[in-house]
Amino acid sequence: MTGHNSARLRYHFEPQKGWLNDPNGLVWYRGQYHAFFQHNPYAAQWGSMHWGHAVSNDLIHWTELPLALTPSKRYDKRGCYSGSAVEKDGSLWLFYTGVDMFGRQTQCLAISNDGVTFTKHAGNPIVKAPRDTSAKDFRDPKVTKFGNAYHMVVGGGKGRVGKVLHYRSTDLLCWDYVGVLLAGRAYGKVIECPDLFPLSSGCCLIFSVMNTAPGTPATRFFFGEFDGDTFTVRNHHSPARGPDFYAPQTFMDGKGRQILLAWFSNWKRAAPKGALYAGAFTIPMEIRYTDGKLTLYPVDEVRPLLTQTDPAVTATANRMLPPNGLCYDGDIDRIDVLRDGKAAEVFINGGEAAFFWRG
């Protein structure tokens, strides 16, 4: 392969070669941070979807490992799409969307005893699309344990109504369909990358919406209550303002922190001609809910890299203008900037609002 890229980012994970988009399977496993990702190893553009894999000890420096999942079975021949990871009895379980040659999407499982080599479950697929969604819009399973049960949320859509579909299991193998957890035309024809997880005194639901209008957040954040069957929205938040922020996923680490990573790019951003690689993760952030506010702020390990000013950021006491056409209007007590070459992330008031853009 020939070609070039501008200088690599110093603090954000990028693949050695090929394409990266959604972070998948984020998990703290055997004393390390594991991050999987949507990956086309053959070109710096979206294509044959595999699962790439990287590990870190400090959430800043990452080591890329061999591919975790490749499209090799009839149910995933067209791609291994996004999903999540769960540790159970010392093994690592990956849940992902398999796409067959007809574009039909199902939820599948692969298991590893060492966190590096994964074996696809003989009973795949473990979940097929219900009537509530199109079989071609049924993807991105995120599994979280609440109490004694595992809950899976999957993105879907039907009749141009985006939906979050809800399943429950006690053993991670047999899944019962509970129903539609949330739906609406305002979320486009299909919801992507849903994530349901406990946070503070309640529960948070986040997901991404395709083809949002310029200036409109592509990721929605809801805080409320989850009783095991239904999610009741208490309020809505928009801490992530983009434009280079999509498909976030969270996980709890060994310190009890709920950490979030997102794709540090967007679907309209193309790699330069001849590029060897494309796509990156955002900096890892802790997501919190305090005093009625949902915040995104870099994890402790990253905070020494933050500065309070940046030549590209213009701010007053009640307005901030990043160099991307967006703006923040409201009281500003503090601004923190993470500058990484031509890329930057700006956090206002401890993460009440966060802006992400690539140069």
Domain ranges of the chain: 17-126
Helix locations, 180-265, DSSP H: none
Confidence bin at 326 (pLDDT 50/70/90): confident
In this structure, of 54-68, 283-297, 314-328, 332-346, the range with the lowest mean pLDDT score is: 314-328
Instruction: With a cut of 80, say whether residue 101 has pLDDT above it.
Output: yes
| Sign of the dihedral through C-alpha 29, 30, 31, 37 | negative
Average pLDDT, the chain: 95
**Annotated catalytic, 114?**
no
CB 226 within 8 A of CB 153: no
68-97 pLDDT, tens digit per residue, is 999 999 999 999 999 999 999 999 999 999
290-304 pLDDT, tens digit per residue, is 999 999 999 999 999
State pTM to two decimals.
Answer: 0.96
Confidence bin at 214 (pLDDT 50/70/90): low
Amino acid at 155: G
Using alpha carbons, list the distances in angstroms from residue 113 to 29, 84, 88.
11, 16, 10
CA angle 287/288/292 to nearest 5° reads 135
Q: Which of 22, 100, 195, 340 is catalytic?
A: 22
Instruction: With a cut of 90, say whether residue 1 has pLDDT above it.
Output: no
- CATH code for the domain defined by 17-126: 2.115.10.20
Query: Which residues on adjacent β-strands are paired with residue 29?
Result: 32
| Sign of the dihedral through C-alpha 13, 269, 286, 195 | negative
Confidence bin at 6 (pLDDT 50/70/90): low
177-193 pLDDT, tens digit per residue, is 999 999 999 999 999 99
CB 52 within 8 A of CB 67: yes
CB 187 within 8 A of CB 207: yes
